[in-house]
Amino acid sequence: MPADNNKVAIGADHAGLEFKALIRDQLIRLGFQYVDAGAPEGTERVDYPIVAADVAKLIQNGECVYGVLTCGTGLGMSMAANRFRSIRAANCSNEAMARLARAHNDANVLTLGQRLLGPDLALSILEVFLTTPFEGGRHQGRLSLFN
């Protein structure tokens, strides 16, 4: 169930545009709103750090609670997003990673690799990520070390 602020920032570079469209549709099915931070469909080339920065800023300013970024592998987006304070981006390739990223690390950005994952798996990872709560407890102290 979406939180009070149920907006998710989504973004992709040219290698993740197909997944971005699937993610948008899945967010709607799950009851989330979204803010599209680029790149526009049909874009031939875009630098992923720019899109990752736009998504990070939407989370930092409180407009969105989560972000989802897609590129070829998910790695570049994860590295770029993690440069921003209070962003905890996790590049997940299966549901277990998504569950643990949320439950133990309170990840607020999911990155996915369109060239490495099938669409059904990517959407399953997304659903697990968005529906898994942060456990807090012993994990909270570790998160405090980031600041």
Give catalytic status of residue 14 as yes or no: no
Catalytic residue among 14, 71, 92, 139: 71
Catalytic residue among 14, 64, 92, 104: 104
Give catalytic status of residue 64 as yes or no: no
Three-state secondary structure readout of the chain? CCCCCCEEEEEECHHHHHHHHHHHHHHHHHCCEEEECCCCCCCCCCCHHHHHHHHHHHHHCCCCCEEEEEECCCHHHHHHHCCCCCCCEEECCCHHHHHHHHHHHCCCEEEEECCCCCHHHHHHHHHHHHHCCCCCCHHHHHHHCCC
Catalytic (active-site) positions: 71, 104
